[in-house]
Amino acid sequence: MTIYTDSDIVIKNRKIMMEFILAEHGKCHREKCELKQLGEQLGVHATRFATPPNLEKQNVSSEYLEINAHSCIYCDRCIRICQTKKVMSRAGKGSLISIVFDDNRSVDASSCIHCRDCVEICPTGAIHYKLSSNFLE
């Protein structure tokens, strides 16, 4: 069996899938979003598909962190970086999937120590800082 990964049809389908991913990704909070950089490498600079309307997902944001579930691509980097603390995990299936803290608690009610590791490792900016003077103290 021979598998071609660089044929015209494969490249065309890769670009279409990237457009779908970018449409679902929505607005990015990171200046250098890895997902958008990957799209540009494939030659996809914009998507012709509409961003889907916001589906109801649990808001686990806190006073210090904002978590945009629609920008999350569920790469699990945040979960892996937080593995020693065992604060973050994934819950749900399909369109109901989400990142949760300490068994569906809010970030503030969880054992999160706001180390910011998840913010730094997030490739899409789905987890980002809220500007708060209390956080800087």
**Fold (topology level) of 59-137:** Alpha-Beta Plaits (3.30.70)
Instruction: Give domain limits for the chain.
Output: 1-52, 59-137
Write the pLDDT tens digit of every residue in 45-64.
888 887 766 544 545 667 77
- The position carrying tokens 């789905």 is 126
pLDDT for position 135: 46
pTM of the model: 0.66
Write the pLDDT tens digit of every residue in 105-125.
777 788 888 888 888 898 888
Write the pLDDT tens digit of every residue in 66-115.
887 777 888 899 999 987 778 888 888 877 788 888 877 777 788 888 88
pLDDT for position 7: 93
Write the pLDDT tens digit of every residue in 5-42.
889 999 999 999 998 888 877 666 667 788 888 888 99
Q: Crossing angle of helices 8-25/34-41, nearest 10°?
A: 150
* 86 within 8 A of 79, measured Cβ to Cβ: no
